[in-house]
Amino acid sequence: MIRARGLTKTFSRRKETVEAVKGIDVDVTEGELVAFLGPNGAGKSTTLRMLTSLLEPTSGEATVAGYDVTTHPAQVRARLGFIGQGNGGGFSYKVIDELHNQGRFYGLAPAVYSERAADLMGALELTGLEKRSVQSLSGGQRRRLDVALGLMNHPPLLFLDEPTTGLDPHSRANLWEHITAMRERYGMTVVLTTHYLDEADSMAERVVVIDHGEIIADAAPDVLKRRHADDVLNLAVATDDGAAVRAALPDGLGEVELTALDPPGSDGLRVRVATARGADALPGAIEALRLAGVATTSASVRQASLDDVFLNLTGRSLREEAAA
Ligand SMILES: Nc1ncnc2c1ncn2[C@@H]1O[C@H](COP(=O)(O)OP(=O)(O)OP(=O)(O)O)[C@@H](O)[C@H]1O
C-alpha cells in the first residue's frame, strides 16, 4: 500500500536549513495499522504530508496505493483519507454541510454523498448534530467529524496526524473505538502519528519510531520491547546478605542491583533485576531464593514500555519530552 525509499524533506527558513526528514525507507502492506511514534519535531507530520502528496519530497520517492506521490498526486489523494492536526471543518458551517461539501469535493453524486454522510454520522455517533455549527461541538465530537470527513470517499488508506492530541482520556478511548470499527468496516490500512506511548503500544500493530527525521526502529510493540528494553523485577528479601542473594538468583537472569530497604534500619534488601520476560522469570527467581533459605517478602514486575525502548535507543525519555 505504501512504499517509500530515501524520502527526504529539507526546509529553508530564513538562512537556516532544517532537515526535517532524512531518507526514510518504509513499506506498509494492505490492512496494517501502523503508528509513527516520535517526539515533537521528529518529522512525523512532514513524512505524512509527503505520503499524502500534500508536500513535495526534496528527494527520494514514494508510491501510495499504487501511484507515485510526485507524479500522480491526484490519483493518490483520491485513494486516501487524511485527517490532519487541525480540524478540517470550517468553524461556522453546519456539520451536515461540511460532510456534503466534502462529498462534492470528491465528485460524488448528491444521492451518494447524502447516504454516506448519514451513514457515517450514525457510525461515529454524531446523529442529532447535523444542524449544529462545527464550532459548537466538543473536542471529541469535532475529532469524530474529522474522521467522518476523512472517510467520505471510502478510502482504502487512512492517514491520521495525531488524532487524539488534546482529547481527554475518555474521548481518546472513544475515538479509538470508532477508528478501529471504521477500519474493520472498510478493511482500511491505517497510518497515524502519535506521541502518546500508551496509545502506540496498545492500539498499533506496528510502531515506526522516528527521531530527528530518521527511522530508528520499526516492529510490533512487543518485539520492540523484547529487542530494546528489559522488564524489571522488584523484590524485597528478608536478609541483609547481598552475596547470598546474588548467588541464589538463576545464572543469566539479568543485571542485579541491591539496595537497603526503606526506611533505613529495616532488615532486608530491595532487589532489582533487569530481565527479559519478567513475568515468566519471577516465580523461578522467588523459588531459587527460597531454596537458598532467603524469604521474599514482596514482589512485582514492571513491564518494559515503549518509553524504555525510546530511552535505550536515544538516551532521552519520550515521556518527558512529551510533557515538556
Ligand atoms: N513548513 C516548514 N518550514 C520550516 N520548517 C518546518 C516546516 N514544517 C516543519 N518544519 C520543521 O521540520 C521539523 C519536523 O517537523 P514535523 O512537524 O514533521 O515534526 P513532527 O514529528 O510531526 O512534530 P509534531 O509532533 O510537533 O507535529 C521540525 O524541526 C519543524 O520545525
Q: How far is the CA of 211 from the centre of ligand 1 (A)?
A: 12
User: Kind and range of the H or E element at 2?
Assistant: strand 2-13
Q: What is the pLDDT of residue 319?
A: 78
Identify the sign of the CA torsion 125, 126, 129, 133. positive
| Cis previous bond, 283, omega within 30 | no
Q: How far is the CA of 19 from the centre of ligand 1 (A)?
A: 9
Contacts of 263 (CB under 8 A, 6+ apart): none
To test the pocket of ligand 1, the residue of 18, 48, 192, 210 to mutate (highest count of ligand atoms within 8 Å of its CB) is 18
User: Kind and range of the H or E element at 208?
Assistant: strand 206-211
Whether residue 98 is predicted with pLDDT greater than 60 in this model: the reply is yes
Domain interval for residue 57: 2-226
Q: How far is the CA of 88 from the centre of ligand 1 (A)?
A: 19
Pair (94, 113) in one structural domain: yes
95 within some domain: yes
To test the pocket of ligand 1, the residue of 44, 47, 54 to mutate (highest count of ligand atoms within 8 Å of its CB) is 44
245 within some domain: yes
pLDDT in tens, 12-67: 988 899 999 999 999 999 999 999 999 989 999 999 999 999 999 999 999 999 99
- Type of residue at 25: D
Q: Which of 4-8, 83-87, 171-175, 192-196 has the lowest mean pLDDT?
A: 83-87
pLDDT in tens, 210-262: 999 999 999 999 999 999 999 999 999 999 999 999 999 999 999 999 998 87
Confidence band, pLDDT 50/70/90 cuts, at residue 88: low
Q: CA 131 to CA 103: how far, in whole Å?
A: 17
In this prediction, the answer to ipTM > 0.90 reads: yes
C-alpha cell recorded at residue 256 = 542485579
CATH code for position 251: 3.30.70
Confidence band, pLDDT 50/70/90 cuts, at residue 188: very high
Pair (87, 121) in one structural domain: yes
Number of domains in the chain: 2
Whether residue 322 is predicted with pLDDT greater than 70 in this model: the reply is no
Pair (243, 190) in one structural domain: no
Pair (287, 164) in one structural domain: no
Q: CA 67 to CA 257: how far, in whole Å?
A: 54
Pair (48, 185) in one structural domain: yes
The mean predicted confidence, pLDDT, of the chain is 91
As a whole number of angstroms, the longest Cα–Cα distance in the chain is 79
Pair (149, 184) in one structural domain: yes
Pair (194, 237) in one structural domain: no
Pair (14, 112) in one structural domain: yes
Strand order through the sheet with 33-37: 80-83, 157-161, 189-194, 33-37, 206-211, 214-219
CATH code for position 159: 3.40.50.300
Pair (138, 85) in one structural domain: yes
Pair (18, 61) in one structural domain: yes
Pair (237, 198) in one structural domain: no
Whether residue 135 is predicted with pLDDT greater than 60 in this model: the reply is yes
Among 24, 26, 22, smallest CA distance to 206 is for 26
Pair (220, 240) in one structural domain: no
Identify the sign of the CA torsion 186, 87, 107, 157. negative
Whether residue 266 is predicted with pLDDT greater than 80 in this model: the reply is no
